[in-house]
C-alpha cells in the first residue's frame, strides 16, 4: 500500500480506495504516533465543537450581552484604564485562540472536500486522473492548467452556436473529453 500525499485514504493493490482505519499502526503517519492519537483526536473534537458552537446565534447574543454589561459598568469604573483593559484583554485572548480552532476545522473540512472531489474524479471515466492531487502543484503548474482550461472553454463557446446548449463530453465519449486536455 502507498499513501497519497497527506491523504486519509490509501491506494490498495487493485486501485481501490480504502479508509485509513484499515491500516496498521506502523502505517500511520509518524506525527500521529508521536503526538498520540488520543491527544490529537481530543483536540480535533474540541475544535469541531467550538467551531460549531461559536457559529450559533445564541453565542452571538451572549457576546453582545457581555459587551453591553461591560459598557454599562463603565461609569462604575469611571471609564478608566482598567475598564478598557478588561475588554481588550478578553477579546484579544478569545480572538487568538479562536483563530487556531476555526483554522483547524477549516483544514479538516477542506481535506474532506478534496477527498470527495478526488473520489469523483477517480470514479468518472471521462475525467483526467492527473488532476487528482492538483492542490499539491506549484503556482506555475496551476497557471498552466488554468490556461489550458480557459482555452478549452473559449473553444467550446466559439463552437457552440447562439441559442444552442453546450454538448456534454460524455455524449462524445471519454476520448473527446480527455484528448483536449493533453
Q: Are 36 and 141 in contact (CB under 8 A)?
A: no
Is 95 a domain residue? no
137's CB contacts (< 8 A; 6+ apart) are 145
| Residue 125 cell numbers, joined | 471515466
In contact, 3 and 23? CB cutoff 8 Å: no
* Average of per-residue pLDDT across 32-40: 62
Pick the more confident residue, 75 or 3.
Answer: 75
Residue 166 lies in a domain: yes
Average pLDDT score over residue span 107-133: 83
Please give the residue range of the domain that contains residue 143.
Answer: 134-179
* Residue 171 placed within a domain: yes
- With cut-offs at 50, 70 and 90, classify the pLDDT of residue 168: low
- Cα distance between residue 169 and residue 44, in whole Å: 41
Q: What is the pLDDT of residue 9?
A: 42
Positive or negative, the CA dihedral 72, 78, 81, 82 is: negative
For the cut 70, the answer to whether the pLDDT of residue 163 exceeds it is no
Q: Is residue 148 part of a domain?
A: yes
74: pLDDT strictly greater than 70: yes
The pLDDT of residue 58: 95
Which three three-digit cell numbers place residue 45?
Answer: 473534537
32 has pLDDT over 70: no
Residue 62: predicted pLDDT:
94
Grid cell digits, residue 37: 492519537
Residue predicted with more confidence, 106 or 36: 106
Domain total for the chain?
Answer: 1
Within 55-136, residue ranges assigned H as helices are 57-72, 81-123
Q: Does the residue 10 lie in any domain?
A: no
- The answer to whether residue 169 sits within a structural domain is yes
Band (22; pLDDT cuts 50, 70, 90): very low
Q: Distance between alpha carbon 139 and the CA centroid of its chain, in Å?
A: 18
Question: Is 24 part of a structural domain of the chain?
Answer: no
109 domain residue, yes or no: no
Amino acid at each position: 500500500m502507498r499513501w497519497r500525499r497527506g491523504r486519509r485514504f490509501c491506494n490498495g493493490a487493485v486501485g481501490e480506495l480504502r479508509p485509513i482505519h484499515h491500516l496498521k499502526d506502523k502505517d500511520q503517519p509518524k506525527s500521529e504516533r508521536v503526538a498520540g492519537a488520543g491527544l490529537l483526536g481530543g483536540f480535533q473534537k474540541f475544535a469541531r465543537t467550538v467551531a460549531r458552537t461559536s457559529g450559533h446565534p445564541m453565542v452571538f447574543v451572549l457576546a453582545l450581552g457581555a459587551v453591553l454589561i461591560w459598557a454599562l459598568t463603565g461609569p462604575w469604573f469611571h471609564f478608566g484604564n482598567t475598564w478598557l483593559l478588561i475588554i481588550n484583554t478578553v477579546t484579544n485572548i478569545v480572538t487568538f485562540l479562536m483563530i487556531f480552532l476555526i483554522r483547524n476545522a477549516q483544514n479538516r473540512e477542506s481535506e474532506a472536500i478534496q477527498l470527495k472531489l478526488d473520489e469523483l474524479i477517480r470514479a468518472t471515466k471521462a475525467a483526467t486522473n492527473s488532476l487528482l492531487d492538483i492542490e499539491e502543484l506549484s503556482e506555475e503548474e496551476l497557471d498552466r492548467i488554468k490556461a489550458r482550461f480557459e482555452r478549452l472553454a473559449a473553444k467550446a463557446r466559439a463552437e457552440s452556436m447562439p441559442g444552442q446548449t453546450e454538448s456534454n463530453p460524455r455524449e462524445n465519449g471519454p476520448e473527446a473529453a480527455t484528448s483536449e486536455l493533453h
